[in-house]
């Protein structure tokens, strides 16, 4: 949001908490799946978006993984090991690294 509003204050890091960054990936990390976020509840979370899940028009503001480039994000990401979506957060960190950003990833 700060980027979209041209706010120049620097973001220092990202702390991802149950980070649903990709509407196309509905399965939480199997090792950490608990009843309240399994299957149907995850689908319900993404269904709350105005556009439909899997729709090519989903904004990257809603589903960050849809951004063409993540080069504007900061290089430090913290994720708690017990986070249900830690696998998704790890994929997200790899995506940032693919934009030639040296990344520090804490799990």
Average pLDDT of the chain is 73
The Cα–Cα gap between 85 and 23 comes to 12
Mean pLDDT for 42-56 is 68
pLDDT category of residue 37 using cuts at 50, 70 and 90: low
What residue ranges do the domains of the chain occupy? 3-23+36-50+61-105
pTM of the model as a whole: 0.64
> Is 57's pLDDT higher than 60?
yes
The Cα–Cα gap between 75 and 58 comes to 25
């Amino acid at each position: 949001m700060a980027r979209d509003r041209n706010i120049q204050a620097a973001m220092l890091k990202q702390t991802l908490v149950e980070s649903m960054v990709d509407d196309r990936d509905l399965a939480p990390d199997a090792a950490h799946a608990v009843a309240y976020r399994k299957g149907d509840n995850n689908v319900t979370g993404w269904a709350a978006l105005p556009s439909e899940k899997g729709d090519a028009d989903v904004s990257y503001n809603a589903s960050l993984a849809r951004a063409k480039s993540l080069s504007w994000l900061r290089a430090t990401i913290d994720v708690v090991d017990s986070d249900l979506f830690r696998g998704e957060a790890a994929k997200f960190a790899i995506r940032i690294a693919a934009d030639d950003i040296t990344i520090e990833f804490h799990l």
